[in-house]
Amino acid sequence: MSDPDSLVAISQRVLLAVAAACALALATGTGALAADPPRAGTAKSRPMNMDEPMAGGMKKQGMKKGDVKKAAEKKDREMRKMIEKEQQSAGSVKK
């Protein structure tokens, strides 16, 4: 059959593989716990200065950060007016 020395060598290899698997599981488990993202609201940032020049490739010459917000608000007002008109005309047609 098998000699005792080969059985000892096989059992040592099995134990070494089990120990390596346990060490790997322990290392990945503690790494996952340590990599928790910061809680919301803990990072404080300063508000954006709307008078600063815009960054990025889509900017136009002399464009400021506040210009985009102003344009979006203007478009929103225009769209609301059109939507209200359509709702009023749709309401009168249905009746």
Query: 64 forms bridges with which residues in the sheet?
Result: 53
pTM, two decimals, is 0.38
> pLDDT tens-digit profile of 15-64?
899 998 888 877 776 665 555 666 666 667 777 777 777 777 767 777 88
Both structure tokens of 25: 């599981």
In tens, the pLDDT along 52-77 reads 777 777 677 778 878 888 889 999 99
Q: Of 81, 78, 52, which is closest to residue 66 (Cα–Cα)? A: 52
Strand partners, 53: 64
CA distance 67 to 72: 9
